Structure 1
Amino acid sequence: MAEVKLIGIWKQFGEVTAVKDMNLHIKDGEFMILLGPSGCGKTTTLRMIAGLEEPTKGQIYVGDKLVADPENGVFVPPKDRDIAMVFQSYALYPHMTVYDNIAFPLKLRKIPKEEIEQRVNEVAEMLGLTELLKRKPRELSGGQRQRVALGRAIVRKPHVFLMDEPLSNLDAKLRVKMRAELKRLQRQLGVTTIYVTHDQVEAMTMGDRIAIINHGELQQVGTPEDVYDHPSNIFVGGFIGSPPMNFLDATVGEDGFVDFGQFRLKLLPDQVEVLGEEGLLGREVVFGIRPEDIYDAIFAQVKVPGENMTRVRIEIIENLGGEKIAHLSTGDLTFLAKFPAESKVQEDTEVDIVFDMKKVHIFNKNTQTAVF
């Protein structure tokens, strides 16, 4: 049993509140990502789970064990939580060989020498480190050092892995490779893993679920598909996705059209019904649509101009090989679209674009929360 529960967790540093009323349940064997911008409280949350920080209020459970409850004087030290942590900086001992770095936590626990050798060799083979066991960290590449740090965590066979941006020091190509390796390893080991990152691509490709944090507050928890397709608020909608979601101020008319001033789009009947129930017909809203849900009308083979089509100017095109990011404008409105590489769009020209109305999002302008 290695689920982790945070119940009403607060963390304050003097006048600064780093974590606000965090409630999060990480399931046994789950790969949970803590995602958010720098300074949002995700590492502080991880450190409280590890026992490196004590919460100001609230309770933390690791499995069935209450490990932190400051209001009742409970605080279990890190060594007694059966948790292994992998840091961004690798934190290897430079004077030790790879073998000794991996074996170190077992030696501290007075594990018999024969068992240490067996477990280190098993982990080394799993991570492709067998040929490197006699080397020192200075003789290794960044990716090899990160694998040694992982090996030192894995060899303990902990109930929970905590990882604090472990790939951020690697180059882009190696990060992609290590993302896949980490995911494979976690599946193979089946150990509950809590992984901190500010990189939404890492989060989307690795996690079973993502917990998105901003200003110390949990914004949304869900599968990568959930948070991408159904963001709970403007922050989540803008943080998940690359390029980010477009947000345009608009007014929803009683006739079911969204009016941007420069053009209008017709909402679907069920969308109009929801807006009516929310009392937003005739009100200002924030209209959100992802760049990939805006199509080049010619490439999309739309022959007849419709209610979800408008003409825009293409200011800039970023050609990424497999796709094109187009910076569009109409009047004083600017937004992005993602077109296929085969699209014939060109800079400094006008083009008809089509909005996929099944994929649009409407946010309450006052509360910033999603209506749909």
Structure 2
Amino acid sequence: MIELKSVSKQYLYGARVLVSTDMTIKSGEIVALLGDDGSGKTTFLKVVAGVTDFEGEILFDGEPLAKKPDDVVMVFDDLALFANRSCYYNLAYPLKIRGVSKDVIDQKVKACADRVGITASLYSGVRKLSLIDKKRLAIARLFLRDCKVVLIDDITKGLDKDEAAVLWQEVAPALQDFAKEGKCVIFSTRDYKEAISIAKRIVVMHYRQIKQIGTYEQIRENPDNVWAAQAFDPDYAFEKAKLSFEGEKLFATTEDGYEIDLGHLVGRIADSYVGKDVYIGWNSDKYDVFGDRKEKVEHAFGTTDGYVLKCGNRKVKSREKLEEVGTLPLANATLVFDETNENSIVTK
């Protein structure tokens, strides 16, 4: 089990990452770090790996993780390969510096190369490899020795869509196997589909800050802020409105005059927000497509489970192909966010 206690990281130029972060990652758990480039994912992994300084404390099974460097293996985003050496050398080196015998090194190197499908390139120089095979070589290092913590940084970065899908299909089962063996597994990605495919919990990161930690279902249904909401739905609907009470009923009135019933949020929003401007939001599959505020569909894109209907800046998910579509949310689908900081104002 990994425990982060009041962990922070500050760079020399002043930027702070992981401000006073507390988090526990159980043995056998897979955690995904989800965010764009520059969100702090790599720094998070490097802090856990102990390859960069930080404030606070990181424990593994109750002892400082920094005292157990051999318990951690990491695939860096730059792969950290010896570019002028052979694939064989790259796999053999970590074992050689630990005093492993040549026979055992040879056996392990060949077994690991076979596992990731690069046996044919084992004696070739790294520079001759395609990017996807360089990534496979880096992944092969994970199988060289026993460990307790596995860290992988954005392994599909730089690949085209098809190659990324192929590599992820190879990597995901391996990470699941590590978890079944009781290892702590943390990987970073910019693709929410990768994150939700195997991770038990997801850490949503944005601009060097952790925005929310939870399961996919928890974050999608009850996002702490707009960034967390958009992490799993790039087309998340988001617009300004004003809150009001009519009797005991709570409503949000959009800027173009449409009234949305927020009965499901009565008692969950502070009275101080009534009469004030807020942001309302809902997932792109929660539109009332046959409801009010119809808009003309400009383009319709077919998907595996229906259509994505483009109306101006909106993308509405629908089971049917329509010429015009309602662009207000379904009942009970709307959440409310503070206009200033864009954090959720709905109590859970």
TM-score by length of 2: 0.86
Q: 1:352 to 1:365 in 2, by over 3 A?
A: closer
Cα distance, 1:109 vs structure 2? 0.6
Q: Contact 1:88–1:169 at 8 Å: present in 2 too?
A: no
Cα distance, 1:367 vs structure 2? 4.8
Out of 338, 344, 355, the residue aligned to residue 322 of structure 2 is 344
Moved more, 319-328 or 3-12: 319-328
Give yes or no for the alignment of 1:150 onto 2:139: yes
Out of 125, 146, 165, the residue aligned to residue 136 of structure 1 is 125
The one-character-per-residue Cα deviations of 1:159-204 (angstroms, maximum 9, x if unpaired) are 2122222210222111112222211001122232221233333323
Aligned AA for 1:273?
G
Give matches, 1:91-170, under 5 Å.
Answer: 91-170=80-159
The one-character-per-residue Cα deviations of 1:204-250 (angstroms, maximum 9, x if unpaired) are 3342211122343322111122222221112211233132x111111
Aligned equivalent of 2:294: 312
Give matches, 1:1-372, under 5 Å.
Answer: 3-19=1-17, 20-55=19-54, 57-67=55-65, 76=67, 80-190=69-179, 191-243=183-235, 245-255=236-246, 256-267=250-261, 269-275=263-269, 278-297=271-290, 309-314=291-296, 316-317=298-299, 319-322=301-304, 323-328=306-311, 335-340=314-319, 342-345=320-323, 350-353=324-327, 355-372=329-346
Cα distance, 1:267 vs structure 2? 2.4
Q: 1:278 to 1:163 in 2, by over 3 A?
A: farther
Q: Percent identity among equivalent residues?
A: 25
Q: Residue 105 of structure 1 aligns to a residue in which SS?
A: helix
Q: Distance in 1 between matches of 2:6 and 2:32?
A: 19
Aligned AA for 1:13?
Y
Q: Contact 2:293–2:328 at 8 Å: present in 1 too?
A: no
The one-character-per-residue Cα deviations of 1:254-311 (angstroms, maximum 9, x if unpaired) are 1233211424344253322323x554444332110112111432xxxxxxxxxxx213
Q: Distance in 1 between matches of 2:64 and 2:22?
A: 15
Q: 1:278 to 1:183 in 2, by over 3 A?
A: farther
Q: Distance in 2 between matches of 1:167 and 1:356?
A: 36
Q: Contact 1:296–1:343 at 8 Å: present in 2 too?
A: no
Aligned equivalent of 1:304: none
Cα distance, 1:353 vs structure 2? 5.0
Q: CA RMSD in A?
A: 2.6
Structure 2 unmatched runs, 5+: none
Q: Contact 1:99–1:134 at 8 Å: present in 2 too?
A: yes
Q: Distance in 1 between matches of 2:120 and 2:40?
A: 39
